[in-house]
Amino acid sequence: MSDPRRLYWDSSCFICFLNRAESDRRKICEDILHHAQDGLVEIWTSTWTIVEVVRPKKISLPQSQKLIPEQIAKIERMFEWGWLKKVQLDQLVAKEAVRLQRDYGLHPGDSVHAATAIQRKVDVLQRWDRDFDKIKHLVTVEEPQMLTKQVELIENFKKQLGPIPDEFP
Residue 56 has pLDDT above 90, yes or no: no
Average pLDDT over residues 126-145: 94
pLDDT grade for 81, boundaries at 50, 70 and 90: very high
pTM, whole model, 2 decimals? 0.85
**What architecture is domain 5-159?**
3-Layer(aba) Sandwich (3.40)
Reported confidence tier of residue 109, pLDDT bands at 50, 70, 90: very high
Measured over the CA atoms of residue 128, residue 49, residue 117 and residue 149, the dihedral's sign is negative
> At 137, is the secondary structure helix, strand, or coil?
coil
Write down the pLDDT at residue 163.
80
Tens of pLDDT, residues 42-52 = 999 999 999 99
For residue 54, the Cα-to-chain-centroid distance in whole angstroms is: 12
* Whole-number Å distance between alpha carbons of 23 and 6: 24
* Residue 107: Cβ-neighbour burial (10 angstroms; 0-12, 13-18, 19+): exposed
Q: What is the pLDDT of residue 2?
A: 76
Q: Where are the domains of the chain?
A: 5-159
CA atoms within 13 A on the CB side of 72: 10
Q: What does the chain come to in residues?
A: 169
Contact 126, 45 (CB under 8 A): no
Residue 87 has pLDDT above 70, yes or no: yes
Residues near 19 by Cβ (< 8 Å), separated by ≥ 6?
Answer: 25, 26, 165, 168
